[in-house]
Each structure stands twice: as C-alpha cells, then as structure tokens.
Chains A and B, each alone.
Chain A
Amino acid sequence: MTAGIAGPAVPDPVSGRVAARIVRTARVRPRFTALAIVGAAGSLIVVLVAVFGPLTASYDPNATNFAVVLAPPGAPHHLLGTDQLGRDVLSRMLYGARSTLAAGILSTLLGTAVGLPYGMVAGYFRGPVDMLLMRIADVMLAFPFLLLAVGLAAISEPTLWTAVLALGVAQVPAIARIARGATLEVRDLEYVQAALVNGEGDLTILWRQILPNVLRPVTVQTTVAIPASIVGAAILAFLGLGVQPPTADWGGMLAQAQQYLNQSVWLGVFPGIAIFLAALCFNLLGDGITDALNPRGR
C-alpha cells in the first residue's frame, strides 16, 4: 500500500488536482465559445452561398462545352476547372450547395415538425397512447434513412424530395423520444396541474406549459442532426437515391467524378471539401449550442 507516502506534510493533493481541473475547464470554455462563433459564421456563409451563390455563378450549371473538357483548376474563365462534359465546376458547386443544404436542413425541419408533437402527445397522455406511439417509433427506428431511401427508390423515382422524406422520417423517432422524455419530466409538476385545475384544455397546456420545456433538448438534438443530414443527403445523391443528374449536387458530382479521377483528381476533391466544410461548420455550431443549452451534454 502506498498510503503512507502522501503523508500529512504534503498539501492535500486531491483537492489541488480538482481545483486545477476546475480552473482548466473554465479556461476551456471560452475557446469552445470562440469555435462556436466560427461555426456560426461558417454556417451562415454556407447558407448564404446556397441562397445567393447561384446568382453569382458565371455559367449555367448544366451548360456543356466540349471545347474545354476536364480543364484543371485555374484554367482561363474556369476557376475550379471543368468536368467531363465541359461544365464549369465552380458554377455547379454554387448550385450544388442549394440541393445539398436544402435536403440537410429541410429534412431536419420535417423530422422536428413530426417528432416534436408526436413525442409530446405520447408523454402527455401516457398509458396506451404512449405505448402505441412508442412501439410505432421503435419500428421506424429499425429503418435507418438509407433503408427508407432504398424503399422509396424502389417505389418511385428518387428525387430531392424522396431524399428529404427519407432523411426526415428517419429522424422522427429520436426527436420523439427526446420530446417525450422532456414532457414526462414536467407534466406532473405543480404548474401544469394548476393549469389543469384552471380548466385549460390539453392542447393549451401542451402549447403553453409543456412546449417551452421541450424546445431546449429538442433544439440540441436538431443542431446535432443538421450536419449529419447534410452528409446523409450527399450520401443519397452519391448512391443515386436522391437528387438525380444532371442537377448539380455535391454528392452527385462525386459519384460522376469517380470515373474521371485518373484524368482529373480535382473533380473528386472540391465537392468533398465542400461537404466536409459545411458539415464541420454546422457541427461546430451544434457543439456551441449544445454547450450553451445543455452544459452536462458534453
């Protein structure tokens, strides 16, 4: 036993270490906040590019020009070069931001719009309603977004909207579980019971007393889900289960680039960097929001 070594003469090592850790943690926080600001700024830029970028594009994203096929980056008039059909890569990237981001963000909104009331109703009414709704959610959980997208692709032609639907529906169970948990936490508290005694209806109580408490954890989940959905949307387009060519999309551009990597490596690099940076910025923003709203979450 080494108990004797740290004798009474040594200043209490444990509390010293704990104190040091607290100081260190305190020092860590501001840096993460700075990172969150970087993430917020980056996310804003990505969104602005998606909204206004196409207006600044100098070429039609689908305009082919067989005189300049597979031009390298920095070629005259084509900053990021051209692809196998002579289409301007920069213009396609700017337009591609739109479909990739739209799928990522819209699907998260869809998942929240369905999952939030779903979970709140399950948690508020409990009993058989809860049991039924959560069993259905369990079944939905067994079909990750890729299987849903595969199923939708089998039923109809895949489009941006089937990708949004698959990514959105797949998020419903997670958001519903969180909303249900948050509802269960507050539904028996005095102020909710007081509203009940006051004669307020279930809908009013759900809206005015419960929703404010559910929004915080759901917001945390949403910010985590957006970057994952952006990558998910790119995956679906890459596999041909989302946006179809010739529509410009970062994932779709990578799928086509695969065959021409020997001639032009750059075709496979730029869209990937774009997806990576977009996801990174939203992840940083999500970390910052999680930190701010849910200090124990990280």
Chain B
Amino acid sequence: MSWVIARRAVIALVTLLLATVVVFAAVHALPGGPTTALSADSTDPAALAATMHVYGFDKPLPVQYGRWLGQVLSGQLGTSPITDIPVSTQLEQRLPITLELAVLSLLFAIAIGVPAGVAAAVRPGRVIDWVASAVALGGLSLPHFWFGILAILIFAVHLHVLPSGGFVPLANGLGGNLEHMAMPAIVLGTGLAAVIMRQTRAAMIEALGADYVRTARAKGMREWQVIWVHALRNSLMIVVTVVGLQLGGLIAGIVTVEEVFNIPGIGQLTLESVYQRDYPTLQGAVLLTAAGYIIVNLLTDVCYTLINPRLRVTATRGTT
C-alpha cells in the first residue's frame, strides 16, 4: 500500500512540475507578456532595456524558466514590478486568510450537508427528504456572488448585524475575526453543503440497503447506532471524495467571495494582479493555487486509500 501512495506522490510531483511549465509559458511566450506591459510605461529604449535586464526578461525563455524555477524552489518568487513587494511576502500575508475562509466554509458545509443527507436518506420520499433535497437543489443553483450581495444587503445594510466586508486578523481578537468571516464562509459553504448533502443522501440510501446493515439490525442494534455508526462511516468516504472533486469549484467560489466581501486573500490578489498586469505576482498566485489543488488532490487520494481497503487492491492494478 505504501508504494501506491508513493506512486501517487510521484505523479503529483510530475504534474506539479508540468504545471509550472504551463504557468511560465502562458505568461511569457504569448503576446501581451511582461515586455509589452513594461514598454507601455517607458518610451526610452535604453531605460527599457535596463529594466528588462534587471528582471532578466532579456534572456532566452528556457534560461528564464530555469532561473525562475530555481527561485521558486528556494522560495523566491520574484518581486512585483508594480508594488515592489516580494511576491512570496504577499503570498505569505494572504494565504492564511484564504485558508481560514476555506476551512470555515468547509466546516459549515459538512455540519449542514452530512446531517441533512442522513436525515433525508433515513426517510426517503418523506417530507424531510423532500425539503432537504429541494433546499440542496436550490443551493446548487445559487450563484455565490449573488447570494453574497443579497446577504450583504440583508444582514449588513438593512439589519446591521454583521459587517459588509473586510477582514480583521485573528491577532486582533477572535470575535472581530469571526464576525467578518461568518457571512463569507456561509455564502461559500452553501454550494458545497448542497453537493455534500446530495452525495451523502445517495451513499446512505445505498448503505442502508446493504447486507451488513441488515445484519446489524438483525443483531438487534439500535437504529441510531446502525445509521450513525455503521452506515455513515462508509458514506463519509463520499465526503472526502466530494471535497476533492469540488475543489475547482471551491477555488472559483473563493475568488468571487473574496471579491464580493473585500477580503484580502489569494483570490483578491490574483484578480488585482490580472487587472494591473502584475506578472510575477500573477505567476506566484496562480502557481500557489495550482500547487494547492494538486496537493489537496493527493491528500484526498491518500485518505481514500487509507480509509477504503477495497481501493488498495484496485489501486495496485493501476486504474488511473
């Protein structure tokens, strides 16, 4: 089994390396690259050449890539030509904010999605299933950014119970931090909760019809134990998988929610750097996001292999 995980890790590493090539090539080899952005600001060719030399833009592309990759590996992602702040510093400042938002919304999604899915699966076709399924379908169709705008209108503008946006660091007090994070996390978590609910419901309905559940019931085990211990334990694997699969959507959600609520995270940094054509920052932010995506996918795969004994066998056969 350990070599299955090792194989996964190697594949992830190769994917990561290819991703760096894609990021680098996309920004540099295509029209509208840093050369154009810099030359737009400067009319003096000598000054331009000097600037290009300082940032190494006058070297051949493979050399630039090698140099850049070396810097990336040593944690140096270059300096933003627009703000003059090192990219790594900006990422370091903003990553915890985005991570907090992601974790809080994930917790919210699991806290709502799993119990709702179980409740719906225990009584399929009844009122509770009907209501939970309808709400989930609604949550699935709701665009984050619109939900966010509505939430600001209701809770910040009209009721004045929560701030309309911004961010307070944890160091300045947990209360203020959570007050600012509550709305964004709930808005972001809603869509995910809907997906988790639907998957949990489907998995639980299947599990509750399985032989081992019948055996547990035949043994005279209490119904709540059958549901919450036996059936749910198997269904929880679904949550792990769903979180992995939904990550792409979660990243889009994070960017929009950070934009709507004015949260200075990685998403907002990415958008700012696109608008300002700040290429080193953009490279760093996109690379960090892609790397995060690959790493979380790897962790999902590993978790899945560890939890599910059946997969250990199929994984050895190399089905990916």
Contact = CB atoms under 8 A, between A and B. Distances in A.
A138 B146 contact: no
Contact of A155 (B32, B202, B247, B270): B32
Contacts of B209: 18, 21
Contacts of A227: 140-141
Given A24-B125, A155-B32, A258-B149, A1 B141 contact: no
A154 B32 contact: yes
Interface in A244-298: 251, 254, 257-258, 261-262, 265, 268-269, 271-272, 275-277, 279-280, 283-284, 287, 296-298
B31 A134 contact: no
Nearest to B275: A240
A28 interface: yes
A38 to B, nearest CB: 11
B125 A3 contact: no
A277 B279 CA distance: 38
B153 interface: yes
B248 A145 contact: yes
A154 B142 contact: no
A139 B19 contact: yes
A238 interface: yes
B289 interface: yes
Contacts of B249: 144, 228
A141 to B, nearest CB: 8
Contacts, number: 164
B143 interface: yes
A235 B214 contact: no
Contacts of B124: 21, 24-25, 28
A154 B140 contact: no
Interface residues of B, number: 65
A235 B145 contact: yes
B290 A2 contact: no
Most chain A beta-carbon neighbours within 10 Å: one of B141, B249, B297, B320: B141
B274 A153 contact: yes
A6 B144 CA distance: 50
A239 B271 contact: yes
A234 interface: yes
A14 B137 contact: no
Given A138-B15, A265-B153, A283-B137, 14 more contacts: A21-B208, A142-B16, A142-B19, A142-B293, A143-B286, A147-B290, A150-B271, A150-B274, A155-B32, A156-B31, A156-B32, A232-B252, A235-B144, A280-B138
7 nearest A-B pairs in the assembled complex, by CB-CB distance = A144-B248, A272-B146, A279-B141, A28-B125, A146-B252, A280-B141, A3-B220
